[in-house]
Amino acid sequence: MSKLLKNIILTFVIGSVVFVIGSLISGAFYTNSTNKIFIDFVFYQLYAFVLGFSNIYFFGYLDRLNWKQGAWKKRIAIGIVGAVLITLVGLFVLRASTATLYYGVDFKAFISGEKLKYYQFGLWITLTIVAVFHVIYYYNKYQQNKLKEQKVIAGTASAKFDALKNQLDPHFLFNSLNVLTSLIEENPKNAQKFTAGLSKVYRYVLEQKNKELVTVNEELQFAKTYMSLLKMRFEDSIVFHMPEQATNPESKVVPLSLQLLLENAVKHNMVTPNKPLHITIFEDGNNLVVENNFQPKQIVKKSSGVGLNNINQRYNLLTHRKINITKEANRFAVAIPMLTKQISIMRTHTSQSQLDDSYVRARKHVEELKGFYYSLASYFVVIPFLIFVNYKSYWGFQWFWFPMFGWGIGLVIQAFRVFVDDGAFGRNWEKRKIEQFMKEEKNQWN
């Protein structure tokens, strides 16, 4: 639906509501003929369209201006003053045109008979609509700013996460080629086996590099393959123990975390037949622990900073749970969290088709919640105004009860849909019905 069509429908609805209120106040429904009521309705719509569209375009103009940060008070003041002036000028032009062109009244006679009270009703209606508009407008702005902030944060986190993962590809290849170079000199036969195994390992690196999380079982299998490569070089100088699979097959870790920890253990410790390096991988509660006997090298090559720091930063972007490092005299252990819930960094380029069903339902619920709060805010602004109009005009017939109860019933139904999960028309009713119809359709074809 185009913006123009929405504005036309909105203006027509406002004109109809104002017509009903004005007719109730003046008693036109009881004293005028059907033809006169219809003519009044046309005039109310004329007033609504002229005043409505002039104010809509005025607020559109204000919205296009570059307002400074924190200038909302000035924006509201200009909006209200401008709406009042536009409404007064519009009412004057409409009243003058109606009097001179439709009723044939002389313009001077029209001017001499004009009074401020003829403009009060139109001003009250305009100010009420302007107040509701500002509440909705600034609430929308607030939500949009929050969404922009979240997109910036998420986009930054996503870019940082990708950068961290992209470090792993050249880092792994570089270190593996270093190992291969050493093997060519020390054991050419194992170098050939290493080359074949390296192709399998590197395939895993390429497959997992674009994932945020992989299952612990996948990582364990990869660690086993990677350690077989290291065993070709160090033979009995490395003793390796690990479980065949995780206790919970759904548990996940960041990709290549075990490979980086194993590589660090080999890089920073002596690995000799006299002092073999014992590496053990095991589960400790909801953590996966990589432990080795601590026998640091006397001369350690300068670290690239990719290993433990990389894992730590990737976990910081995905979860509040921290990596635990234990360093003792004869023992060094790193415990990485095993995550059981699906965690995903929000991408700014994610399309609607890529969103899962749970996200779509959650977003729909948020939209319904916003709609309910809009209606509730409007209710508590408009109803007191209608009571005031009723009291000032004619308190003998308290017509305000009709819109108050009618609108109130609508709010109750809307609240039921938003806040009640089950029931005949609760939030999950639509989902259950869709599933029911899909099941019936499937049974029909089977």
Using only C-alpha atoms, the chain has a radius of gyration, in whole angstroms, of: 36
> What is the C-alpha to C-alpha distance for residues 394 and 401, in angstroms, rounded to an integer?
14
What whole-number percentage of the chain has pLDDT above 90? 10
Domains, the chain, ordered by start: 181-337 (3.30.565)
Average pLDDT over residues 7-12: 80
The full DSSP string for 198-250 is: HHHHHHHHHHHTT-S-EEHHHHHHHHHHHHHHHHHHHGGGEEEE--SS-SSTT
pLDDT of 446 over the 50 cut: no
> What is the C-alpha to C-alpha distance for residues 398 and 402, in angstroms, rounded to an integer?
9
Instruction: Tell me the average pLDDT of the chain.
Output: 76
pLDDT of 216 over the 80 cut: yes
At 56-68, the pLDDT tens digits run 888 888 888 887 7
3-class secondary-structure state, position 339: strand
Q: Torsion angle of alpha carbons 24, 25, 28, 30, nearest 10°?
A: 60
**To the nearest 5 percent, what fractions of the chain are helix, strand and coil?**
70, 10, 20
pLDDT of 360 over the 60 cut: no
Q: Who has greater pLDDT, 193 or 250?
A: 250
Q: What separation in angstroms does the CA of 296 have from each of 287, 290, 293, 299? A: 25, 16, 9, 9
Q: Who has greater pLDDT, 253 or 391?
A: 253
3-class secondary-structure state, position 324: strand
- Considering only CA atoms, which of 53, 59, 60 is closest in space to residue 79? 59
Pair 274, 288: CB distance under 8 Å: no
pLDDT of 27 over the 80 cut: no
- Considering only CA atoms, which of 336, 318, 350 is closest in space to residue 282? 336
Compute φ and ψ for 70, nearest 5 degrees: 85, 10
Question: Treating both helix axes as pointing N-terminal to C-terminal, what angle do 357-393 and 401-419 enclose, rounded to 10 degrees?
Answer: 170
Which of the residue ranges 136-150, 215-229, 261-275 would you say has the lowest mean pLDDT? Answer: 136-150
Pair 273, 237: CB distance under 8 Å: yes
> What is the C-alpha to C-alpha distance for residues 37 and 129, in angstroms, rounded to an integer?
24
Angle at 208 between CA 204 and CA 213, to 5 degrees: 135
Q: Give the number of other CB atoms < 10 A from CB of residue 291.
A: 20
Q: What separation in angstroms does the CA of 148 have from each of 70, 141, 142, 242? A: 17, 10, 10, 45
> What is the C-alpha to C-alpha distance for residues 90 and 75, in angstroms, rounded to an integer?
22
The model's pTM is: 0.43
At 172-190, the pLDDT tens digits run 666 667 767 767 777 777 7
Pair 49, 14: CB distance under 8 Å: no
At residue 183, what is the residue type? L
pLDDT of 155 over the 60 cut: no
What is the model's pLDDT at position 292?
A: 94
- What is the bridge-based pairing of β-strands 277-284 and 238-241? parallel
> What is the C-alpha to C-alpha distance for residues 208 and 204, in angstroms, rounded to an integer?
6
Average pLDDT over residues 223-249: 86
Average pLDDT over residues 362-376: 72
Which of the residue ranges 49-53, 241-245, 329-333, 415-419 would you say has the lowest mean pLDDT? Answer: 415-419
> What is the C-alpha to C-alpha distance for residues 330 and 332, in angstroms, rounded to an integer?
7
3-class secondary-structure state, position 331: strand
Q: What separation in angstroms does the CA of 5 have from each of 127, 157, 446? A: 23, 40, 46
